[in-house]
Structure 1
Amino acid sequence: MTPTIEIQNITEAECLGLMRSQPVGRLVFTENALPAIRPVNYLLDGRDIIVRASQETWISRLDGSVIAFEVDQIDPRSHTGWSVVVLGKAEFVTDIDQLVRLSDPNHRPWAPGRHDRCMRLRAAEITGRRLALAG
C-alpha cells in the first residue's frame, strides 16, 4: 500500500530553522529578460540571505532587483521533503562593520577565487511547504 502524502504550509519560524540546516540554495532572477537560476552557498542573517561573491560576477547586476531564493530537502524514496522560498530585493552591503561581521570564515563560499562582495536579499516574504506522510 502506497503511503498518503499531504502538503502542509510551514510557518516563517520553521522556514528559518530549515534554511539554517542547508548550506546551498538557489538564487532566482532575470537575466536579459529571461529567468535565471544559480546555486549558491549562503548565510542566513536574521531573515535575510547573504551571498558572498566577487566583484566581476553576474551577481553584480542584481543590486536593486527583486529576486527569489529557494532551498529544499527532498527524500526521493518516501516522496517527502520541504521547500522554502524567500522573495525580496537585492542590495550590496557597504557598511564596513557589517562586512566584517558577515565575513565569517565558517561560511566561506565553495567556489574558488576572491569573494569580497556581499549581497543581501532583504526578505519581504518567506513561505514554505512540506510534503509529509499523512498521519
Structure 2
Amino acid sequence: MTTSEAVENLSVDACWELLRSTTVGRLAVQTANGPDIFPINIAVDGGTIVFRSAEGTKVSAALNGPVALEVDGRNSDTDHAWSVVVKGHTQRIHKSEEVLATVDLPLVPWHKGDKPVFLRVQPRQVTGRRFPIAGPEAWWTPISEAPVTSED
C-alpha cells in the first residue's frame, strides 16, 4: 500500500461529525501584517461553527475577509489521525435572539478573559482526511544514524 492509498478523503457528513467531536480549532485569517492563526474554542451550530472572542486583530480580520478553520484529532483505538478544514466567511452574531440561541452550545473558552463577541463561520467548503499514523521507522534515513559532531 502506498502512502497516498492510505489517505482517506472524508465525506462532508464525516467532517461535520468530527467537527462536533472537538472543542478546539485554529482560525487562520489575513491581517494587515500578513497571515495569522489563532487557537479558538468552537461549537457546531447546525451547519456553522460558532466561537467567542474579545475585540481585536482576530475579530477584525475574521470579519473582513475569508477565513480557514482547522481541527485535528487522533483515534487511539485505530491509530489513525484526521484533519478537517472549513473555509468560509465569518459573521458577527449580534441580535439578542441569535446570541441567546448559542447559550446551550458546548462553547467553553479555555481562557477566562472577557469574550463578549459571538462569531459564526459560514462554510463555503468543508474538506477532511483520515490517515494512519506513521511510526518512527517511516522517517528513518541513512543520515538518522550519522554521528553528531559539535563545534567547540
Normalised-by-shorter TM-score class: 0.7 to 0.9
Equivalent in the alignment of 1:9: 9
The answer as to whether partners of 1:72 and 1:84 remain within 8 angstroms in 2 is: yes
Aligned to 1:50: 50
1:45-69 alpha-carbon deviations (Å, 9 max, x no partner): 1121111112x33233121410000
- 1:24 maps to which residue? 24
Residue 84 of structure 2 corresponds to 84
**Matched-pair contact (CA < 8 Å) for 1:89–1:122:** yes
Contact 1:20/1:44 (8 A) holds in 2? yes
Secondary structure of 1:70's aligned partner = strand
Cα deviations across residues 69-107 of structure 1 (Å, max 9, x unaligned)? 00011469x863110000001111112111011133742
Q: How far did residue 114 of structure 1 move?
A: 1.8
Runs of 4+ aligned residues of structure 1 deviating over 4 Å after TM superposition are none
Contact 2:89 2:123 in 1 (8 A): yes
SS of the residue corresponding to residue 13 of structure 2 reads helix
- With structure 2 as the length reference, what TM-score do the two structures score? 0.75
Higher RCO by CA contacts (8 Å cutoff, separation 6 or greater): 1
Distance, in Å, in 2 between the alignment partners of 1:14 and 1:21 is: 11
| CA 30–94 in structure 1, closer or farther in 2 if over 3 Å, else same | same
Distance in 2 (CA, whole Å) between partners of 1:16 and 1:105 is 15
Whether the 8 Å CA contact 1:8–1:132 is kept in 2: the answer is: no
Structure 1 or 2: larger helix share?
2
The structure number with the bigger radius of gyration is 2
Q: Work out the CA distance in 2 between the residues paired with 1:46 and 1:105.
A: 11
Where does structure 1 lack aligned partners over 5 or more consecutive residues?
Answer: none
Structure 1 letter corresponding to 2:96: I
8 A contact 1:66–1:90 mirrored in 2: yes
Once the two structures are TM-superposed, the CA of residue 30 in structure 1 deviates from its matched residue by 1.2
Q: Percent identity?
A: 29
What residue identity is the alignment partner of 2:56?
Answer: T
